[in-house]
Amino acid sequence: MITKMKAGKLVTMLFAMFLGSAAWADFIPGTGGDPDIDVGNPDTYIDHTSDLTEGGSIACPGGNGSNPTAEECWAEDASGVDLTFDDSKTESVDWYWTNDGNIAFELAYGGGYYILKNGIGGGSSIWVLFQNVASLDWGVIAPAWEDTANLGSDMIISHVTELNGGGDREVPEPGSLGLLGAGLIGLGLLRRTRRKKA
């Protein structure tokens, strides 16, 4: 039979597990004694193309080349958001595998959206648009987009163009604060039940 105290402990434990589950994010495993790097969860995929001038509801100037005007225009059309390019283009970006098998790379400017250009060789390229929602400093791509955008172990990131716009982003609460809060709530409930007994 479950007593009130056992039920309270059970509820507290479930609540702590719920809060703690939000704390798990991808990380790049540290090497040589270096600590792991928390990179957040995968970002939101919006669209991809191999031709910046194809489809869409507007005609983008600048042709199909990797120029900021064409990329910004395509990203605005694909996202439906007014975006701004602020000279935030990074060439030759290194990428890493995370503990969950996702692809992570550092973002230099922390824009709300970013375009990853995958130079897949043979003169062809793929542009992929993501909304950065999990970490301000890292782009994280889920493996589900590997086939769609030719991402994976042979990926060559030609460049990453970061775009600002779309309003304020929600900044996630650090996992350690969530765990601390769960612990404090648990201690408070434990103390409350002990006072009732006395």
- The DSSP string of 52-78 is TTSSSSS--TTTTSS-HHHHHHHHHHH
Residue 163 has phi, psi (to 5 degrees) of -125, 140
Least confident of 7-16, 100-109, 178-187: 7-16
Q: How far apart are CA 160 and CA 129, in angstroms?
A: 10
Q: Are strands 124-131 and 96-97 parallel, antiparallel or unpaired?
A: unpaired
Res. 34: pLDDT tops 80:
yes
In whole numbers, what is the pLDDT of the chain averaged over residues? 73
More confident residue, 195 or 111: 195
Q: Nearest Cα to 38, choosing from 177, 183, 127, 140?
A: 140
* Contacts for 192 with CB less than 8 Å, ≥ 6 apart: none
More confident residue, 169 or 97: 97
Q: Quick one: pLDDT at residue 154?
A: 62
The pair of three-digit structure tokens given for residue 150, joined into one six-digit string:
């030719």
Other CB atoms closer than 10 Å to residue 139's CB: what's the count?
Answer: 25
More confident residue, 76 or 51: 76
C-alpha distances out from residue 182 to 22, 24, 91, 173, Å: 12, 15, 42, 13
Q: pTM of this prediction?
A: 0.65
At residue 105 the predicted structure's pLDDT band, cuts being 50, 70 and 90, is confident
Would you tell me the crossing angle of helices 175-197 and 4-21 to the nearest 10 degrees? 170
SS3 content of the chain, % helix, strand, coil (to 5): 30, 30, 40
The pair of three-digit structure tokens given for residue 12, joined into one six-digit string:
């507290």
Quick check: helix, strand or coil at residue 63?
coil
Q: Which helix (H) or strand (E) holds 46?
A: strand 44-49
For the chain, give the percent of residues with pLDDT over 90.
0
Helix and strand counts by DSSP (H, E) for the chain:
4, 10
